[in-house]
Structure 1
Amino acid sequence: MSKTFTKAIFTLLLLCFTGLIVRAQSVLISGTVRDNATNAPIPGVGITVKGKTAGTATDNSGKYSFTTTEKAPFTIVISYVGYTSIEKEITRSISNLDFRLESATILGNEVVISASRTPERILESPVSIERMGQAAIREQAAPSFYDALINMKGVEISTQSLTFKSINTRGFNSNGNVRFNQYVDGMDNQAPGLNFSVGNIIGLSDLDVDNVELLPGASSALYGAGGINGTMLMNSKNPFDYQGVSFQYKTGLNHVNDNSTGVQPYNQFDARLAKSWNNKFGVKASFSYLKAEDWYASDTRNFDRKNNVVKSGDRTSDPNYDGINVYGDEVSQNMRNITQGSIEPGIRQRILAASGGAFDPRAALSNVPANATYPSYLAFISQNVPAPLQAAAGQYLPFFYGLRNPSAMPDQFISRDGYSEANLVDYNASSLKLSGAAHYKFNNNLEAIAQANWGTGTSVYTGTERYSLRNFNIGQYKLELKGKDFFLRGYTTQERSGDSYIAAVLGLSINEVSSPNSAWFPAYIGNYVGASVQGASSEAAHAAGRAAANASGNGRFAAGSPEFNAAKEQIMNTNISSTSINDADPTKSIYGARFDDKTNLYHYEGMYNFTNFLNNVVELQVGASSRLYQLRSNGTIFDDQNREIDINEYGAFAQLGKKLLNDKLKLTLAGRFDKSTNFEGRFTPRIAAVFTVAENNNIRASYQTGYRNPTTQNQYIDLSVLGGQSRLIGGIPESLNKYDLYNNKGVLRKDYNAFLASAASGTPNPALLVPYTFDSEGLRPESVQSFELGYKGLVNNKLLIDAYGYYNTYSDFITAITLFRPSTGTGSYSMPVNARGEVNTYGAALGVDYLIGKYTVTGNVSYNQIGDLPADYDNDFNTPTVRYNLGLSNREIVKNFGFNVQYRWQDGYNWFSSFAAGPIPAFSTVDAQVNFKIPAYKSVIKVGGSNLLNSYYSTSFGNPEAGGLYYVSLTYNP
């Protein structure tokens, strides 16, 4: 364990257990708590003074006793998970105050807010909703509540690293999911420079989370832009109802039987402190720190980036090898094109400059007969080239030989050697989360809140490239005033990229520092020709060319060498905007891979519920919001090196609800209008109905719409990738005009590849190079219409059934294209566009919860499918057709012992992204935990494992495979 980690635990333990004890006239209360049905004593029952921290818990015999200085009369609360709470007024000291708790069936009785932005039983929700309450959070069979979300019906997770996971529902899963909203205490959890949530880096710790509500499907009518596929709301505990000190220490290991590394430790410490005074003023603070070795992305299969498919071969058999998780080998050149194309003039100029203009190799070599042999060229050099220039002329001779003898050069692409991801990214995963809040109640109906959440860490994220997020941090700061019928809220999100960098740019830059492409490729080709003319086979000649180009003196730094480490350190700490990689300025010799992102978001919103004002005749809510994005990346992500970019968004919504037919039918109508700086306004309606067919049995139907604006990067990104061979640019007219793509048109990848195939066959067909014309309307927001029919019912208070089916139609679906301009030889440009046509998806899900005595059996299955696709759309549905979960749990199988086991399976499917595309095999996992309660110490010991059978699997192509994670935890005062 590191010294820093040890000091952090020691300091927080001191804070947790240090206090000031004040003695005054006290009230003594004691008694026993039993199960009303069995008369058995219940250990671990909480007995607390309502609104205070004072209290205790029953021991193994169900007995309790505690003293408080609270002035009588006051109220105590007797509560235990799975039982109905009791409140009792106390007027004096009393002994033998016994209680009998009734077992509570909680199935279907949870209250949710997010579905209608007003409290209602989950059984009566007008749309599909999933909820994770405190009992489920405490008993989860996963390292954290965030990891346990995968067990919810229809939920998928893309795992990019140990601490970076993206949540999704209903298809179009992605590494950074821009179609799924995530909120923490009402604050949009997205990183504003990325436009998606970075896992749980500034989310909640298990000790501070009160509940999680998840809405699969469109939710724009209530929550605005985004959330086109779903919205999740995480709500923290308040300091009035949840007081006192609690902490959790978790230790374990991962990387068992991992070929990349040996077994590695996993450590996490969480603490929470909350206190209130007179139920008027309350404060809380929480701390969470995680340290572990990240999962390794180590897929070395050969990848064809032009066609976005895996191909056969490795570095030995394929001169143009490009490993999936190998970086720097993206730089590729055609041998014949090099000797006859762009590099030759530069070589000629070097020799001219070296000779002071006295020797022009092209003019001199033109005197050699066209059919001269290679030895004749060597003899010419020794006889005609000045001695100081013979070495340089010999090195570059193959180019001039190739000019006169095209058949000597194969029509073969060759790539540079790359470095594995493990040599380039920081796998020392860490996560530090701090949060604090102050609450003040003016009265029972009016409360003010000041809240700050801040998180930092080191992780790895997959976008167009793999990004090493080092010391990445985000802060969220909120002021809120809320009453019984309204709230006013303002918050800001401050994103800071820290020392984050692009792994691929780092790899290719190290190559460039060790040996520039202009020297490496000539060295390769020169030695290839030398070996070839001496009779070596093609494979042997390529091996000779590569070995010579990589040899010391020509320059490829060996991974881990002092030269490599020095170059790595300099490059990953130099901004990418300072380099020739990003601005295509060949005069620059500085190389960098680092981001400098300081993008901010400012959000203001309010809502008023007129229902009470209207005497509950109808339910009416209205609200409005305003948002500002400040894009500040210093040219390392956005086109903002010499300017500041701001984006404003405005919106307003209203919702009307009415119960009919003796309250058996509830109709809800909602609508929202939103406007963004670069796009026209958009109206999104929602209509929903819930019909009670029998007590606790409801049928729901809804028509929902959703939309999302093109992301900040969709609009303004300007970044070179793939070794300078491709540039990511925004899709708005301003960005397209910058690169003259309206006039100097490019051709689509498929057309460009078809032309290359015709050229390779010896009959190039220019007619295949069809110019791409952008849509006259420009880039537009994406929208969806969603129809859903569902049923949720509780049978005999033991069986809860939830089923739904949906059909979605997406319009103006935002996808991406890559354009090539062969005539200019300036590489390719990738930008977002709207697919021309509709994209349809459909699916269904079924969830079942069944109580058998003290056992809870759970299961759910989901089905998702995509329909016909527009011709210009790459299928990034990225979702298994079928997936299911099975669970079995018991809170107390024997006295103080409980367990939870979860099994999940999903079938194989194809994954498509801008980073890589390929098949994801089917896989299954088992998660389990057993727990032991120690009531006398208000503690729980849990032993568990995630992916218990250690079957390594990947959720998305190009991301690491995740294995088992095994842990034991001690939680005090959970």
Structure 2
Amino acid sequence: MEKLSVFRFILIMSLVFNVNFLLAQNSISGTIVDAEEGVAIYGASVFILGTTNGSATDFDGNFTITTYGDLPIKIEVSSLGYTSQIIDVTSADQNLSIQLELGSDFLDEVIISASRRPEKIVDAPASVSVISARKIANSSEAIDPIRHLMNVPGVTVANYTANSMNIEMRSGNGLLGTAVLPLLDYRIISTPAARSNFSYQYGLTNLDLERIEVIRGTNSALYGPGVEGGVVHFITKKAIDHPGTSAELYTGELRSRGLAVRHAYANESKTFGYKINVKYNEGADFGLDPVEDAERISSFYTKIVQPIIKNKVVDATQSGSPLIGMDYLDPDRDGNPLASEYQNLAMNAHFEFRPNENTTATLSGGYSDAGGLAIQDQGYFYNQGIDYWAHARVTSGNLFAQVSYNTNDGGSPQDPTFLYETGNRVVGKREFFVANAQYDLDVPSFLDSKFNFGIDYQDTASDSEYTLYGRNEDNDPYNITGVYAQGQSKLSENLTMTYAARLDKYNFIDEAAFAPKLALVYKLNESNSIRASYSVGTYGASSLEAYIDFPVQTLSAGQLDVWLSGQIEPHIFDQNAQIEVTGAGAYVPGGYYIPRTETSLEYSHLYNITKGLTLPGISAQLGANAALAPLVAPIEAFFNTYAGPAGTTGQIRGFNIFNSSETMSELTDVGSAQIATIDNFEIGYKGRIGKKLSLGVDFYYAARKGFTEFTGVGPTYMLTGGDLVGTWPTTVGQDLISDPGMQAAAAGYVQAAYAGAGLPASGLPAATSIALGLPSSGLALLLAPDGALPPSNLATLGLLNLISGQVAGGFTQAGQLLDGEINPLAFGAISSNRAPNDGVTHISSGYRQYPNVTRSHWGADVSAEYYHNENLSLWANYSHVSQNQWIPGEANDDDLPFPSYLNTPMNKYRGGFRFNADNVRASLSYQYDTAFFSNFGAGLGGDTPERHTFDGNIGFQIIDGVFFDIQATNLLDREYRQYPGLPIIGRRVLFKTTINF
């Protein structure tokens, strides 16, 4: 149904465009150059004043705008580092040769993402940054444009490997998910099922990027839940405004090779255009250290299987069907199965329609076949799949509407997505449908107000074939419906108030998410403004966090795993539950349980676990000896009522499987998914000091209420100092022969044997005993070592010791086997009602809810850029957070009941320069992060050292239209890990050639 809706929308829009093509049009062309040097300015923005109809200059400074309105009109021209101008256009053949004066009026640039409508940066009611096409061209990043964000204040680009990275902002850093909403030409490009950034699947290229808009801070009032960190909007070049063909090729370190091609066409009337992008890249990836990370590498599975599904969940008791082995996982034959190379392909096509200045539309679609390492709180996994997307967007007058559809096959049996810690394939098939409509209404009579009214609908469909969503697979709907409104009113000539509110409803959460925003912008003059705002960010569980139901980590195949259950239902614990002993199911059908109150392991439990398999063997062994066979019955009679040996060993302690230092002994239920919020207060300044210095200063306060902590929700128990073999088997044997009944039976047996053979109760000397042939008779087991027949009372004692030794030997063997089965570090566990009842010990993990807990901190982002001249600019920025960890019991813990971490340094410094001349360009950037402590699951995180890195680029024009660049990331090769436990990031130098045909 969703696909049909897209096609109907496209058909209707096409009919509308055919009508609009009949209208008259005027084409306005011109050239924009630097006023002092007379050189062309590339990427300058040209907009018809009061509309969204705009263009940008090409490499020769030329632009063309088509308008269907009557002349005269006004156009606004701006470019980063120059003072903007407003020009009157009175005729289509007017000679527009525009000269821009050097300045720092980046504030005059038009930004769309802050208010979901065009406005100047200086007027935006949010903390914003823009990365222009000029900066993109002169950067150190040829492969993944995500890294252009590396030097933006308040933004963290988490460099996990050369191929995998994530984006975060003020709300703190995670591993897999993100609180930042990434958009590409208004389309959501993150993976909605997990709110993840798999940027290697995006197909972004530097050739096609026009600019990147960054909005810091909560934006739920306009964009909905899950945007508590901010928005990053990648805006590409329109084919109508940027026709032509360009290509870039690169090669370099880590066997890096790549190619990108952009071809765009526009008709003469500028009413139709199309473009095609193709991107391919491959190379070796950064990885783990074979010595330092040997323990982690050894935990990775060397064979990936298709898991057996039983009762709609992964059956942990059976080995799956093999899919791939070390030939696939370890092509470089170094013994490490972790992926060490990547290969990605992406292509897309766009059709653009501009029938008049008030109507624009785009139909686009794309494909990618890509994969890469991904890291989550549960450990490492490899993600790959074929991804398709389609997008239709139209702006007509005050109406904006779009629909998009994305589908990913989540990997195939030949090229699967899988977890390194379980060796299981996980099927990640997913579909994502989005529809959005917005109407802009201007009411000049009411405080010169501008209003936006919008509605959003998102629907995520997943199919894991029971490998990931388990018992929730057949009922896992996930959709969000939201409505929003925003107004901007001028309270005075210089003071503007922005007010917005949004209401969103998840289909599986009872309460709605309400996100208001209020902002005041006071313009000191046309180039300086101050801002104060209050906003609320909302977020809830992702589809993955809601419906996941599978073994996230296998600790002992068929015996012990960590079972992750999502937030769609609560975890309920039986308060009378006992500890399930790991591995005991192999000895006791249905498993073995010990009281939760025990702090030391009673020997009787070891006996009771092993007796079922041990006693039959002892009876068979004794019964095989005709002389001892009569004693089997009294032995079995003893064990029928025997409770086990006395005594204890070791210490039993409950703990959190993801944090062994955290004691966990209580059984605490865990609630289902809820809405959480972030209250954000902010004051800021954006402006220009003199003509050459631009400055931005932001202070913010964030209070996050409501937490979901991924953690072990049920206790795991460790046994420290335990002896499973040593003393207790001997005690069992001694208890047997100390039993009066057993003693009487043994004495009667001996007396009867003596009497039956006509032997004296007082015994016989060795010589006589040998002469009578007793050593070869059934009485041999009663003889002394020298062959003498002892007195009957001593023979009884010897017989009992013999039986005791054999019994002790049998239980010693059982204890040794049990010792091999039981992991003392995970001796046992208590599972919630969400774990399968399949004979395997499952450590329950999930998302513990803290709805009434609030964590707060403040922060600051400062940025400055000095434009020395039209060729050279110097820049620096600084980001600070007042606190990045909350430890219960410390003075600044905010009364949190658990440790909490932002996983970001308290201080981040960035600085550098950019140089652009006619034939030469160069840039250098420096990044310094102070040390901090990070904390994730699966042994990831810890003390993260301070980091000093440099990135650089130098390029020059070889011939007209051909540029050659040398680009380096981590130029000085100061190796680091984004977080402890992650791959080591070193230097990568690339050689890139860009050709503009």
TM-score band by shorter chain is 0.5 to 0.7
Q: Does 1:713 align with 2:544?
A: yes
What are the residue-to-residue correspondences of 1:461-540 with 2, within 5 Å? 461-469=374-382, 471-498=384-411, 499-505=415-421
Q: Distance in 2 between matches of 1:57 and 1:191?
A: 35
Q: Say whether the 8 Å CA contact 2:348–2:367 is kept in structure 1.
A: yes
Corresponding residue for 2:904? 879
* Superimposed CA distance per residue, residues 720-771 of structure 1 (whole angstroms, 9 cap, x where no aligned partner): 133253334334353636xx67885999xxxx9x999876984658998633
Corresponding residue for 1:284? 275
Corresponding residue for 1:645? 476
- Given candidates 930, 934, 938, the residue that maps to 2:954 is 930
Corresponding residue for 1:117? 116
Q: How far off is 1:425 after superposition?
A: 3.1
Give secondary structure in 2 for the equivalent of 1:727: strand
Corresponding residue for 1:408? none
- Given candidates 323, 336, 343, the residue that maps to 2:296 is 323
Q: Say whether the 8 Å CA contact 2:105–2:688 is kept in structure 1.
A: no
Q: Does 1:195 align with 2:195?
A: yes
Q: Distance in 2 between matches of 1:56 and 1:807?
A: 42
Corresponding residue for 1:184? 184
**Structure 1 unmatched ranges of 5 or more:** 1-29, 65-72, 254-263, 303-313, 315-321, 331-418, 510-592
- Given candidates 845, 859, 864, the residue that maps to 1:848 is 864
Give the partner amino acid of 2:567: I
Q: How far off is 1:610 after superposition?
A: 0.8
Cα–Cα, structure 1 residues 213 and 756, in superposed 2: closer, same or farther, change >3 Å? farther
Q: Distance in 2 between matches of 1:227 and 1:855?
A: 36
Q: Say whether the 8 Å CA contact 1:299–1:323 is kept in structure 2.
A: no
* Superimposed CA distance per residue, residues 926-968 of structure 1 (whole angstroms, 9 cap, x where no aligned partner): 111112135x622222112111111111112221111111112
- Given candidates 454, 458, 464, the residue that maps to 1:633 is 464
Q: Distance in 2 between matches of 1:642 and 1:957?
A: 35
Q: How far off is 1:658 after superposition?
A: 0.6
Q: How far off is 1:78 after superposition?
A: 12
- Given candidates 687, 698, 708, the residue that maps to 1:804 is 698
Q: Distance in 1 between matches of 2:43 and 2:900?
A: 53
Corresponding residue for 1:142? 141
Corresponding residue for 1:817? 711
Cα–Cα, structure 1 residues 823 and 487, in superposed 2: closer, same or farther, change >3 Å? closer
**Structure 2 unmatched ranges of 5 or more:** 1-28, 48-52, 63-70, 304-331, 581-593, 602-647, 656-662, 717-827, 831-839, 887-892
Corresponding residue for 1:243? 243
Corresponding residue for 2:877? 860
What are the residue-to-residue correspondences of 1:700-739 with 2, within 5 Å? 700-724=531-555, 725-732=560-567, 734=569, 736=571
What are the residue-to-residue correspondences of 1:149-160 with 2, within 5 Å? 149-160=149-160
Give secondary structure in 1 for the equivalent of 2:264: strand
Give secondary structure in 2 for the equivalent of 1:147: helix
Q: How far off is 1:790 after superposition?
A: 1.1
Q: Distance in 1 between matches of 2:492 and 2:93?
A: 50
- Given candidates 485, 489, 506, the residue that maps to 1:676 is 506
What are the residue-to-residue correspondences of 1:289-300 with 2, within 5 Å? 289-298=280-289
Q: Distance in 2 between matches of 1:428 and 1:675?
A: 42
Corresponding residue pairs, total = 717
* Superimposed CA distance per residue, residues 523-573 of structure 1 (whole angstroms, 9 cap, x where no aligned partner): xxxxxxxxxxxxxxxxxxxxxxxxxxxxxxxxxxxxxxxxxxxxxxxxxxx
Q: How far off is 1:195 after superposition?
A: 2.4
Q: Say whether the 8 Å CA contact 1:716–1:729 is kept in structure 2.
A: no
Cα–Cα, structure 1 residues 882 and 489, in superposed 2: closer, same or farther, change >3 Å? same
Cα–Cα, structure 1 residues 614 and 467, in superposed 2: closer, same or farther, change >3 Å? farther
Corresponding residue for 1:268? 258
Q: Distance in 1 between matches of 2:46 and 2:502?
A: 44
Give the partner amino acid of 1:726: D
Give the stretch that moved more between structures: 758-767 or 844-853: 758-767
Give secondary structure in 2 for the equivalent of 1:190: coil
Q: Distance in 1 between matches of 2:133 and 2:118?
A: 17
Cα–Cα, structure 1 residues 200 and 224, in superposed 2: closer, same or farther, change >3 Å? farther
Q: Say whether the 8 Å CA contact 1:426–1:458 is kept in structure 2.
A: no
Give the partner amino acid of 2:263: L
What are the residue-to-residue correspondences of 1:439-450 with 2, within 5 Å? 439-450=352-363
Q: How far off is 1:482 after superposition?
A: 1.5
Give the partner amino acid of 1:790: G
What are the residue-to-residue correspondences of 1:337-416 with 2, within 5 Å? none
Q: Say whether the 8 Å CA contact 1:156–1:169 is kept in structure 2.
A: yes
Cα–Cα, structure 1 residues 728 and 621, in superposed 2: closer, same or farther, change >3 Å? farther
- Given candidates 790, 793, 807, the residue that maps to 2:687 is 793
Calculate percent identity across the aligned residue pairs: 22
Q: Say whether the 8 Å CA contact 2:570–2:669 is kept in structure 1.
A: no
Q: Say whether the 8 Å CA contact 2:80–2:104 is kept in structure 1.
A: no
Q: How far off is 1:786 after superposition?
A: 0.8
Give the partner amino acid of 1:618: S
* Superimposed CA distance per residue, residues 580-613 of structure 1 (whole angstroms, 9 cap, x where no aligned partner): xxxxxxxxxxxxx212221111111111011168
Give the partner amino acid of 2:261: A
Structure 2-normalised TM-score? 0.65
Give the partner amino acid of 1:734: E
Q: How far off is 1:202 after superposition?
A: 1.2
What are the residue-to-residue correspondences of 1:408-427 with 2, within 5 Å? 423-427=336-340
Aligned-pair Cα RMSD in Å? 4.1
* Superimposed CA distance per residue, residues 842-890 of structure 1 (whole angstroms, 9 cap, x where no aligned partner): 2112111112234211001111224525554342310111111011122
Q: Say whether the 8 Å CA contact 2:702–2:856 is kept in structure 1.
A: yes
Cα–Cα, structure 1 residues 273 and 81, in superposed 2: closer, same or farther, change >3 Å? farther
Q: Distance in 1 between matches of 2:78 and 2:489?
A: 35
Q: Distance in 1 between matches of 2:297 and 2:942?
A: 11
Q: Say whether the 8 Å CA contact 1:471–1:500 is kept in structure 2.
A: yes
Give the stretch that moved more between structures: 441-450 or 845-854: 441-450
Give the partner amino acid of 2:338: V
Give the partner amino acid of 1:114: S
Q: Distance in 2 between matches of 1:659 and 1:55?
A: 33
Corresponding residue for 2:326? none
Q: Say whether the 8 Å CA contact 1:900–1:929 is kept in structure 2.
A: yes
Q: How far off is 1:135 after superposition?
A: 1.3
What are the residue-to-residue correspondences of 1:866-905 with 2, within 5 Å? 866=884, 868=893, 870-892=895-917, 896-905=919-928
Give the partner amino acid of 1:116: S
Q: How far off is 1:780 after superposition?
A: 1.1
Q: Distance in 2 between matches of 1:694 and 1:461?
A: 48
Corresponding residue for 1:912? 935
Q: Say whether the 8 Å CA contact 1:437–1:450 is kept in structure 2.
A: yes
* Superimposed CA distance per residue, residues 72-126 of structure 1 (whole angstroms, 9 cap, x where no aligned partner): x9x99999986679999999999xx998665464432221121112222212221
Give the stretch that moved more between structures: 194-203 or 664-673: 194-203
Give the partner amino acid of 2:455: A
Give secondary structure in 2 for the equivalent of 1:196: coil
Give the partner amino acid of 2:276: A
Q: How far off is 1:675 after superposition?
A: 0.6
Give secondary structure in 2 for the equivalent of 1:107: helix
Give the partner amino acid of 2:873: T
Cα–Cα, structure 1 residues 741 and 124, in superposed 2: closer, same or farther, change >3 Å? farther
Q: Distance in 2 between matches of 1:438 and 1:733?
A: 41
Give the stretch that moved more between structures: 801-810 or 80-89: 80-89
* Superimposed CA distance per residue, residues 451-495 of structure 1 (whole angstroms, 9 cap, x where no aligned partner): 113222121111144545364233221122222312111111212
Q: Distance in 1 between matches of 2:42 and 2:846?
A: 59
Q: Say whether the 8 Å CA contact 2:41–2:57 is kept in structure 1.
A: no
Q: How far off is 1:183 after superposition?
A: 1.2
Q: How far off is 1:686 after superposition?
A: 0.6
Corresponding residue for 1:452? 365
Give secondary structure in 2 for the equivalent of 1:919: strand
Q: Say whether the 8 Å CA contact 2:175–2:377 is kept in structure 1.
A: no
